[in-house]
A and B are shown apart, each in its own frame.
Chain A
Amino acid sequence: MPGYPRGLKAEKSNMISQSEIEEAYDHYSDEIFTFIIRSVHDHDEAEDLLQDVFVKLINYSVKSNVNSVNIRALLYSIARSVCIDTARRTKRVSMEQGDMLMVPDKDPGPEGTFNDGVIDMVNSAINTLGEPEKSIILLRKNGLTYAEISPVLKLSERTLKRKVKSAIEQIRKKLRDEGFFIPGDTGSSDESFNR
């Protein structure tokens, strides 16, 4: 994050004003909240994390410049790191307790619901992706364009697209492993084609 010159900090605090934080909350809390909920899948926990995000933003504003141009990207950046921290912790706790989070076995169902089954599979495959691929995809799902994601993750649009491509490749591999028919995929020649 671009820091404020140290000398300025003592003289003048740039802290976000009450009206600014209210405005920011009213503007962005809903979309940040949906972004968090995509990651933690729990309403109460997402509310706690949402509060954390805004408190972190306030603290950040004490030392660094927060303005209407960078505030949305900042909120997303903070939300992302908060979610990653939480996911790491949850994983650790569940591993300590020996009950790994179970990914429900999705039944692809009868032929008629091919896409429903695939989409369920795709969604559970997203959860297994690494960073930053997972964040990019969750941000895309939250309605952000590549241009909007770029300042959040500090990656160029081209890099973002390449990362998405590698994520898509991974998801396709997962689908293939699950036995889904993928046209044009030479690797699946041993799979059944008689759909």
Chain B
Amino acid sequence: MNGHLTDKEIDNYVSGLASGSDSEKVRKHISSCPQCRDIVEALSSVVREERIDSRPGVHIRESVMLQWQRINNEVSGAKTPVKPGIRKSAAWLAAAASVVLAVSVYIITGVIKPAETYQLTLKPVAGEVYINDTPATADTGITAESAVKTGINGIALISADRYTLYIGKSSSVTVSENSVKSGIRFVLNQGELISKSSGGVKYSFRCGDSTVLPSGTEFMLRYQGGSLSVAVLQGKVSVTGPDTKMHIDAGQMWSSEKRNELSALDPAAASMIISGSFDSTAPVREQGNRESKSAGSEVRPRESGGSSDSGITSDERKEMLERARLSRELRQDIIEMKREQRQERKGRNRE
């Protein structure tokens, strides 16, 4: 065949603009001209379907559904006539939120369980540990309505199958409910907790008038002097209170003192959750204090200290995105750290 296809002929063919007869001409030509076939092939690859075998993790589905509930709560809350009594409507909103969340958790995890209650055991680790005001011995069984208290240097563990709750010093925790059907309900009256779940156990926390609802997570709770802090390492935690509704993702921290803001997870808090120890001195609070000291009411990410043009929504948006990026990076660091720890543990077990 003499001559090659022109640019125009190829472009029209590849983009689908060519008429039937023009396309036929191109097809005929490339069947006998390997050079033109190569270039038509290469350019056609631009618009050809290309499979990617990547799938999102199942936790994304859960998060989306949680978000649906949150938005649904907001929307149904907004639909009720709003009267001057804001507190009243907020309380109603919170009640509705907790009902919806409780129901949804029931639906999500409401699979048939063999036992009626979860088998909970208390292990005193250090210092004074009391159960119902009597000193606890090793591996004490815990029933509903048991109250666990730790002294100034006390540390204890409550564990169930695939679930561990670390109780820090000077803390008071009550198991207000324990049934497989509706889950374990812990009441944190005072102190600090680290909760680690590897799935299977349904549980929630009550701190003052707030409900903390986790979904498959590792996180830390601190409730002192009426102020609640939550630091999440893995999974997701929702906090619902009379005028609070927050979703705290992995790599984020939240404190009731700044109830509408989320901050990046403090590395100290992260390492505390990973190790399940309360060694560091109150990093969650420290973080909160540092924030409240920073100028203005807005929390700025540490990097962008200089900018002073506040009140511009697009700027706020950029900032939020930036913060999200930072927390994503932190999350990756944490995942890396956890992987190392896992390997270390494996090595130790082998020995």
Contacts and interface: CB of A to CB of B under 8 A. Distances in A.
Interface residues of B, number: 52
Given A48-B328, A51-B64, A137-B46, A165 B38 contact: no
13 contacts: A13-B79, A21-B64, A29-B56, A30-B56, A51-B67, A141-B49, A146-B16, A161-B16, A161-B17, A164-B47, A165-B11, A182-B39, A183-B5
Nearest to B331: A44
A15 interface: yes
B43 A171 contact: yes
Given A115-B42, A185-B7, 5 more contacts: A21-B68, A34-B54, A140-B46, A164-B14, A165-B17
Given A169-B11, A182-B39, A18 B52 contact: no
B332 A44 contact: yes
Contact of B46 (A38, A54, A55, A167): A167
Contact of B48 (A54, A141, A183): A141
Contacts of A46: 54, 56
A33 B15 CA distance: 25
Contacts of B12: 165
B57 interface: yes
Interface in A114-132: 114-115, 118-119, 122, 126
Interface string A20-46: 011001000110011001100001111
A162 B17 contact: yes
A55 B36 CA distance: 47
B111 interface: no
Interface of B: 3-7, 9-12, 14-17, 33, 35-36, 38-39, 41-43, 45-52, 54-57, 60-61, 63-65, 67-69, 71-72, 75-76, 79, 318, 321, 324-325, 328, 332
Interface of A: 13, 15-16, 18, 21-22, 25, 29-30, 33-34, 37-38, 43-48, 50-51, 54-55, 58-59, 62, 85, 89, 93, 114-115, 118-119, 122, 126, 137, 140-143, 146, 158, 161-162, 164-165, 167-169, 171-172, 175, 181-185, 195
B64 A15 contact: no
A30 B49 contact: no
A37 B52 contact: yes
Given A51-B64, A55-B64, A59-B71, A168 B41 contact: no
B350 to A, nearest CB: 30
B4 A171 contact: no
Contact of A164 (B16, B56, B57, B61): B16
Nearest to A181: B35
Contacts of B5: 183-184
B159 to A, nearest CB: 31
Contacts of B39: 118, 182-183
A21 B33 CA distance: 51
A29 B11 CA distance: 33
Contacts of A44: 328, 332
A29 B61 CA distance: 9
A93 B324 CA distance: 13
A60 B35 CA distance: 50
B188 to A, nearest CB: 29
Given A46-B56, A48-B328, A141-B50, A21 B65 contact: yes
Nearest to A136: B47
B7 A119 contact: no
B337 to A, nearest CB: 16
From B36, B48, B71, name the one whose CB has the most chain A CB atoms within 10 angstroms: B71
A141 B68 contact: no
A183 B10 CA distance: 10
A6 to B, nearest CB: 15
Contacts of A29: 56, 60-61
A37 B60 CA distance: 15
Contacts of A162: 15, 17
Nearest to B79: A13
